[in-house]
Amino acid sequence: MENFLNIMDKLLSDEGCPWDRVQTHESLRRYLIEESYEVVDAINKKNSEGLCEELGDVLLQVVFHAKLAEKEGLFTFDDVVKTVSDKMINRHPHVFGSASAETPSEVLETWEEIKKKEKHYESGADVLESIPDCLPALMRAEKLINKAAKFGGEAPSAEKASRAAAEKIAELENAEISKNVDINDISELIGEILFEIVKISCFFKINPEFVLTNQSEKFITIFRRFGNADRT
């Protein structure tokens, strides 16, 4: 790790790489996202060699950001490591303290309570507002629904969500045959339908992001078999 940090210092020095030297936290955002997705792709393909490489690329992004922050006098890589180490100890009192947690669900419950205290969240709304709006839409909706249920909101119901989605779909069908269609109303209806579908996924504890990804791959397979890809 020390060798890797020295490599980054060299790259960011006056004698280093012209491209690396002009990067910022903002310019590097896309690469962290891309590398993270490539890690997921390697996992999905059970490619251990690829996973090793892609984890290294994610680590590069972590170190890159830390080194930029160090040059700005904000924090160092050691601060990043200490922060996450302290967090792991504090949020695992059943391992590093005297608390007890026998099941994964108990661990998650303890984690959420400790996090709420650390972040000084005073209400469920504070928790929901803390969920980044830059997350993929399906992923963010899932987190909002699950978090709301833990902090006083209504638990997801497949029956209620299915009924609500069906009602919205009926409205959409009626709008399709209407001559006076407001595109903003259509957009809102589609958003409401998607949100109800995510509620159904949450009820069954199914990740909607993965489900839609799998369905997209299935669509490609079916299209390749029965469609005419050359005409797209």
Each residue's pLDDT tens digit in the chain (232 positions)? 999 999 999 999 999 999 999 999 999 999 999 999 999 999 999 999 999 999 999 999 999 999 999 999 999 999 999 999 999 999 999 999 999 999 999 999 899 889 989 999 888 889 899 999 988 899 999 999 999 998 878 899 999 999 999 999 999 888 877 767 788 889 999 999 999 999 999 999 999 998 998 999 999 999 988 876 555 4
State which residues form the domain around 149: 131-231
Report pLDDT for 225: 87
Q: Is residue 126 part of a domain?
A: no
How many residues in total does the chain contain? 232
Tell me: do 68 and 148 sit in the same domain.
no
Q: In this structure, what CATH number is given to the domain that contains residue 166?
A: 1.10.287.1080
Report pLDDT for 183: 87
Total domain count, the chain: 2
Q: Is residue 69 part of a domain?
A: yes
Tell me: do 53 and 138 sit in the same domain.
no
Q: Is residue 224 part of a domain?
A: yes
Report pLDDT for 230: 56
Which parts of 73-118 fold into alpha helices (H)?
Answer: 77-90, 93-96, 104-118
Query: Is 202 exposed, middle or buried, given 0-12, 13-18 or 19+ CB atoms closer than 10 A?
Result: buried
Q: Is residue 65 part of a domain?
A: yes
Tell me: do 69 and 135 sit in the same domain.
no
Tell me: do 141 and 206 sit in the same domain.
yes
Amino acid occupying residue 74: L
Report pLDDT for 150: 85
Report pLDDT for 228: 62
Tell me: do 65 and 151 sit in the same domain.
no
Q: Is residue 98 part of a domain?
A: no
CA–CA separation, 109 vs 106, rounded Å? 5
CA–CA separation, 133 vs 130, rounded Å? 9
Q: Is residue 125 part of a domain?
A: no
Tell me: do 147 and 221 sit in the same domain.
yes
Q: Is residue 196 part of a domain?
A: yes
Report pLDDT for 231: 53
Cβ neighbours for 155, distance < 8 A, ≥ 6 positions apart: 149
* Residue 4: strand, helix, or coil: helix
Q: Is residue 108 part of a domain?
A: no
CA–CA separation, 125 vs 116, rounded Å? 12
